[in-house]
Amino acid sequence: MKYIFIFVLFLCSSVLSGQNTGKFLEGKVSYLSSQHVYVQFVSTEGIQPGDTLFLSKNKAYVPVLTVSSLSSISCMAVPLSSVGLSVSTPIYARPRTDSKQASLDVVAQRTQTPIAVNDIAINKVGATETYKDHKSKVDGRLSLSSYTNIYSTSPSFYQTTQRFRYNLGLNVRHIGNSNLSMESNLSFTHKLNDNVVLHDALKVYDLNLKYDFDKTSSLTLGRKININMANAGAVDGLQYEKKLKNFTVGALVGSRPDSVYGFDPKLLQFAAFASHNIQTESGYMLTSLAFFNQMTKFQTGRRFMYFQHSNSLLKNLDLFCSFEVDLYNARDSSNTIDLTGAYVSLRYRPFRKLSLSLSYDARKNIYYYETYKSKRDSLLEKETRQGYRFQFNYRPFRKLSWGGTAGYRLQTPSSKAALNGYTYLTYSQLPFIDVSATLFATMNKSDNMDGNDYGITLSRDIIDGKLSVDVEYRRENYNLSNYKTTTLPNISLVTLKEQTADLSFSWRLSKKLTLSADFEGSIDADKNYNGRAFINLSQRF
């Protein structure tokens, strides 16, 4: 199966949109995470960290991103506002004609980074898509990934696991110049030589058909997160929307995904919502209110109100928040008012060289795309998501940038308070060797993890515009509680002292075909070796 998949990849077209538009260079959003937006260009020559990237609206260029690091063909950027962006959204840069080709500052795409399905929807909040015609448009990505793990429990005993992942993201707008559109994001994962269980192997993150009755009303069938209720989770079923000037009203009926993001028709739900949207030259404001009734085997298990608000009307200030208030107690079938979910994010940019953000996360319905993570990365993700988080990025000089995050999780009946922090210092284009260096350090103190790690990353373009390479060294010192693996099924406390080396590269084989790889090896205090390899072949069309 995988050989057929590779053959199909090479048969796909390979034309990358990256032409100059006057003084602007056009690229496209290639990847989104909860903190950053990645934009791919044919070449990033003339673009430097701290530069502004723009979105074209009504024949004007609106600033939406600030470049924090870049490679020869890709930029990692921080959003300036909550304007919705999605994969393949055109983004424009104004290159500096007198600058040299910028080297890689920091790793542009860390394959270990967890990507929340909910956060992808949040990034689209505030986006307004208007179509003057019904001309068909197709964009998508087809990729094959290989994940290999080698681990040992003694210097002479090794075990290896390998799994493959096939991913298809395809969006077809106005199929055959009609009112019908389609969105999809599917992945299929299986381990080598293991029996495939379809329910576990196939993940459907997005799959729906949308029919536009006219410019103001539409009906969607399938799995989709409604951006008016971005943190309420996905809906499997029917969603209807009707626009009335600045207002949108709608209803949905269907089911919700189960705990592994599978389809379960027994988890019925229905809801109604209303939203108010204001668009101005300075920004937007969107407010939504929805009422949900969720059932299990036709018995109401939860009834709640969902409130969402976002705006970018104040200069350099962006706000997004959502709240869930339970209205029904299933244990005694009584009515109640109980705040059970909250998320608030505030981003402020006092001046061009400094950006600040503060967030509070107490969400329930969070699902992640499958990512390339170690056991430590997975634990760290769980320990740091909820609670308060402060983030900053400061670029005092053209080639120097400093940033970091600090998080605090409040004590709850099931967990104690937790602290975590991360900081980095990057200097781009070191003299004589043209290498970018990043020093970083992480600290975490919680029930399950207590310790720190630190290291250095060196990045450089090897073949200008086509091949970039990153080398990283990291030392880790963690105490892990309740640590369980296949080889250590029930250990209450493990002291993890490791040295890790990482080599990764990205090679643009053609304008739309990219090969990337990440090889990591670590050795602990007992001389046990662990190695991981991630290889990805990706074709856009």
In the chain, what are the domain boundaries? 130-136+174-370
Instruction: Answer yes or no: is pLDDT of 84 > 90.
Output: no
Picking from 245, 254, 292, the residue whose alpha carbon sits closest to that of residue 272 is: 292
* pLDDT tens digit sequence for 297-323: 889 999 999 999 988 878 788 888 999
* pLDDT tens digit sequence for 380-424: 565 566 789 999 989 888 788 899 999 888 776 666 788 889 999
Average pLDDT over residues 145-163: 79
Q: Which of 36-40, 112-116, 222-226 has the lowest mean pLDDT?
A: 112-116
Residue 320 neighbours by CB distance under 10 Å: 23
What is the distance of C-alpha 136 from the center of its chain? 27
Do 311 and 286 touch, CB atoms closer than 8 A?
Answer: yes
Average pLDDT over residues 227-253: 91
Q: Where are the alpha helices (DSSP H) in 142-208?
A: 198-201
Instruction: Answer yes or no: is pLDDT of 179 > 60.
Output: yes
Instruction: Answer yes or no: is pLDDT of 135 > 80.
Output: no
Which helix or strand (DSSP H or E) is residue 122 part of? Answer: helix 117-124
Residue 363 neighbours by CB distance under 10 Å: 20
Confidence of residue 198 (pLDDT cuts 50, 70, 90): confident
**Type of residue found at 140:** G
Instruction: Answer yes or no: is pLDDT of 19 > 50.
Output: no
Do 148 and 160 touch, CB atoms closer than 8 A?
Answer: yes
Instruction: Answer yes or no: is pLDDT of 109 > 70.
Output: no
Instruction: Answer yes or no: is pLDDT of 489 > 80.
Output: no
Instruction: Answer yes or no: is pLDDT of 22 > 50.
Output: no
Instruction: Answer yes or no: is pLDDT of 21 > 90.
Output: no
| Alpha-carbon distance values, 18 to 15, 48, 403, 468, 476 (Å) | 9, 17, 30, 19, 41
Looking at residue 355, what is its pLDDT?
87
Q: Which residues pair with 511 in a beta bridge?
A: none
- Over the chain, what is the mean pLDDT? 78
Average pLDDT over residues 107-129: 54
Ranked by mean pLDDT, the top range of 30-34, 60-64, 423-427 is 423-427
Looking at residue 492, what is its pLDDT?
57
Instruction: Answer yes or no: is pLDDT of 73 > 70.
Output: no
What phi, psi does 3 have (nearest 5°)? -70, -35
Degrees, nearest 5: CA angle 484-202-173: 135
Average pLDDT over residues 430-436: 83
Looking at residue 274, what is its pLDDT?
95
What CA–CA distance (Å, rounded) separates 176 from 380? 46
Average pLDDT over residues 243-248: 91
Torsion region of 409: left, alpha or beta (phi above 0 gives left; psi -120 to 50 gives alpha): beta
Q: Where are the beta strands (DSSP E) in 330-466?
A: 334-351, 354-362, 387-397, 400-409, 418-427, 436-445, 449-463
The share of the chain scoring above pLDDT 90, in percent, equals 22
Return the half-sphere exposure (C-beta side, CA atoms, 13 A cut-off) of residue 524.
17
Residue 390 neighbours by CB distance under 10 Å: 14
Residue 334 neighbours by CB distance under 10 Å: 8
Instruction: Answer yes or no: is pLDDT of 144 > 80.
Output: yes
| Alpha-carbon distance values, 487 to 24, 190, 376, 483 (Å) | 55, 21, 16, 11
- Which has more pLDDT, 435 or 376? 435
